[in-house]
Amino acid sequence: MSLIVQKFGGTSVADADRLRHVAKIITDTYAKGHRVVAVLSAQGDTTDELIEKAKEINPNPSPREMDMLLSTGEQISVSLCAMAIEAMGYPVVSLTGWQSGILTNTVSMNARIKRLDTERVEAELDRRRIVIVTGFQGINRLGDITTLGRGGSDTSAVALAAALHADLCQIYTDVDGVYTADPREVKGARKLDEITYNEMLDLATLGAQVLHNRSVEMAKKYNVKLEVLSSFTGHPGTKIKEVAKGVEKSYISSVAKDKNIARIALLGVPDETGTSFKVFSLLAANNINVDIILQGIGQAERKDICFTVAEGDLERAAGLLKDHQESIGFRAMETNADVAKVSVVGAGMIGSPGVAAKLFEALYDAGININMISTSEIKISVLVDRKDAAKAVQVIHDKFFAM
């Protein structure tokens, strides 16, 4: 008897019909003799709506109360799904994050799972019940509810799969799997049969929403067999594994776009030892993540340092730097949130010269200017104006994947 963890996203559980359909997928799996743990997201746009509700009451609510509020969405989904399964005559129980023993750190709204105490879940499975668990939430050592960051239900599912030594973790969503680019935005995007953990991790981190990046990190670490597939079509999905077969004739597997990014330029920074350390240690000490960094050679003992941060951190980062302008010594600061990062990812890039040139050619032909560039072994990212982002993804995709 195998143990299968199945996760269903917001669109998959959006209304009563969708919930009944999900209940059918779960009970069909159970009826084949498997033990099933299902992890559910909040219905449709519930989480966004809850955030709006909070803003109406208080423009600056405490993260603790936000966790309290946001975690309710998932609770509605699991109870309704359990009721649908009850109506079909199967044994079932729904559990919250704390009932499932999902213990996190104390970082509200972006908590990390520290440990899983799976006794309750295992006891329920031993009673041959289907177990339906709220995604996205856990409990911290103070006994407070925490949430795992937007899209975090994927991580709840993989964490449970790892802790329960599940045979398979299936992420059911609203597209057929992982594509060569967002299939909703890019014409000609193709479904991948397989992708490696490393490629998927980069892709998720670079803006492809289809999997929460921490879920991929965890799946790789604990060797969880992961699959992304549609709850709508029943088509075969995408398998995420340690080693994958190459995508035909292409050294890149996917193109991603991230609009949640902003650029900060510090102009006229003194060209002396320790300046970068001052800038980036200040940001790090305040938990602000820096992404692409560019530093010019400079002239007359001054240089410019340019870098990107998440858009949500821009105001805070700029404020901190302004407060330390004198000690860092820069002459002026420019910020720009009208940018987006477009990236190509692919393990096949290693040892394939010319990938960057091909990408730059696609952008040049389309008249799109590149602001910044960053590369690693298996990815190349460029920063472009936000208005150009969708076109940039399309032309890069056409360049690499045109038949």
Residue 135 binding result from Mg ion, ligand ADP, ligand ASP, none, given CB thresholds of 5 to 8 Å by partner type: ligand ASP
The two structure tokens encoding residue 321: 């730097």
Which of 216, 199, 248 shows the shortest CA–CA distance to 379? 199
The two structure tokens encoding residue 203: 């892709």
Say whether 173 counts as a known binding-site residue: yes
Say whether 180 counts as a known binding-site residue: no
Torsion angle of C-alpha atoms 342, 347, 351, 353, degrees rounded to 10:
-20
d(CA 136, CA 209): 15
Interface positions, 116-135, toward ligand ASP (CB under 6 A): 135
Inter-residue contact 88 to 22 (CB < 8 Å): no
Say whether 155 counts as a known binding-site residue: no
Say whether 179 counts as a known binding-site residue: yes
Say whether 348 counts as a known binding-site residue: no
Question: Is position 381 an interface residue for ligand ADP (rule: CB under 6 A)?
Answer: no
Q: How buried is 47 (Cβ within 10 angstroms: 0-12 exposed, 13-18 middle, 19+ buried)?
A: buried
Question: Is position 151 an interface residue for Mg ion (rule: CB under 5 A)?
Answer: yes
d(CA 211, CA 199): 12
Total residues at interface with Mg ion (CB under 5 A): 2
* Contact flags string 105-134 toward Mg ion, x per CB under 5 A: ------------------------------
Say whether 30 counts as a known binding-site residue: no
Question: Is position 207 an interface residue for Mg ion (rule: CB under 5 A)?
Answer: no
Q: Which of 20, 64, 150, 278 binds ligand ASP (CB under 6 A)?
A: 150
Of the chain, the end-to-end C-alpha distance in Å amounts to: 43
Helices marked H in 88-139: 119-126
* Shortest reach from residue 12's CB to Mg ion, in Å: 10
* Contact flags string 46-75 toward ligand ASP, x per CB under 6 A: -x-------------------------x--
Ramachandran category for residue 80: left, alpha or beta (phi over 0 → left; psi -120 to 50 → alpha):
alpha
Question: Is position 179 an interface residue for ligand ADP (rule: CB under 6 A)?
Answer: yes
Which of 120, 169, 119, 117 shows the shortest CA–CA distance to 138? 117
Say whether 237 counts as a known binding-site residue: no
Q: Which of 67, 174, 304, 388 binds ligand ADP (CB under 6 A)?
A: 174
Q: Which of 254, 308, 371, 381 binds ligand ADP (CB under 6 A)?
A: 254
* Shortest reach from residue 67's CB to ligand ASP, in Å: 12
The residue nearest ligand ADP at its CB is: 9
Which of 403, 361, 402 shows the shortest CA–CA distance to 380? 361
Question: Is position 151 an interface residue for ligand ADP (rule: CB under 6 A)?
Answer: yes
- Report the binding-site residues for substrate: 47, 74
Residues binding ligand ASP (CB under 6 A): 9-10, 41-42, 47, 73, 135-136, 150-153
